[in-house]
Amino acid sequence: MQALIFDFDGTILDTESTEFQAWQEVYQQHGAELSLDYWLPFIGNNSIPFDPAGHLEKLLGEPLDREGIEHWVQQRKQALNQTLEPLPGVLDYLEAAQAMGLKLAVASSSRRSWVEGHLERLGLLEYFQVIRTKEDVALTKPDPALFLRAAEGLGVLPQETLVLEDSLNGVRAARAAGAFTVAVPNALTRHLDLGQADLLLSSLCDLALWDLLRIARGKQPRSTPRYLESAG
């Protein structure tokens, strides 16, 4: 393995939970409920976008001030996201990868300004040689284009990359690209079946990068994943 490619939302920073929380609060304000089961299929899937304001209108049977609601959600998300720190183990992996001489990239279906803005705020932008976002491809995840472009930018083959992902569509994209794919679900995506990954971790804290690389280098990507989780 020559390179490590991170997904962003839900893998480096748990922005997926804050967006869900903001919309849940809107639904509660209107006496409705936004269930996790309804939300989950749209995580990491920009090809079939979910319209939560439109869904709320259907539940209530009446039009809403969509512009006002979406403005409130954006403000609420921004406030919540500004308090977020990298998910457990992310910084350790970045430092270890840098010490080992591995190349590093981010491949995200989000906007470049969103990804780079958060990475800069967290002091993580300097770790990555390549960042590929929705502006760089015609199709986002589950299409493999983002991971293929990231590998190309790093000057390595997709088969020489290890991908860290949290969503089903991200796992599908990474596998389609030919990368060794590690699923690390967050508080939301742990409810998804991520069994298509080559390896499942409950947290990056469960396995040192060196040990993860030994597993990846010793195995070809496989259809039956191995699951590792902390004993606690």
182 Cβ neighbours under 8 A, 6+ residues apart:
162, 163, 164, 165, 197, 198, 199, 200, 201, 212, 216
50-89 per-residue burial string, b: 16 or more CB within 10 A, e: under 16: eebbebbbeeeeeeeeeeebeeebeebbeebbeebebbeb
Q: What is the pLDDT of residue 225?
A: 46
Per-block average pLDDT, block size 10, for the chain (232 residues)? 96 90 95 88 68 92 94 92 94 98 97 96 97 97 97 98 95 97 89 90 94 86 46 31
Domain boundaries, the chain: 3-14+86-228, 15-81
Cβ(106)–Cβ(131) under 8 Å? yes
* pTM, two decimal places: 0.84
Residue 31 · residue 59 · CB < 8 Å: no
CATH code for residues 3-14+86-228: 3.40.50.1000
Which of the residues are catalytic? 7, 9
Q: At which residue do the structure tokens 């979910």 appear?
A: 50
Q: What is the pLDDT of residue 47?
A: 59
Q: Which residues contact 181 (CB under 8 A, 6 or more apart)?
A: 163, 165, 171, 174, 175, 196, 197, 198, 199, 221
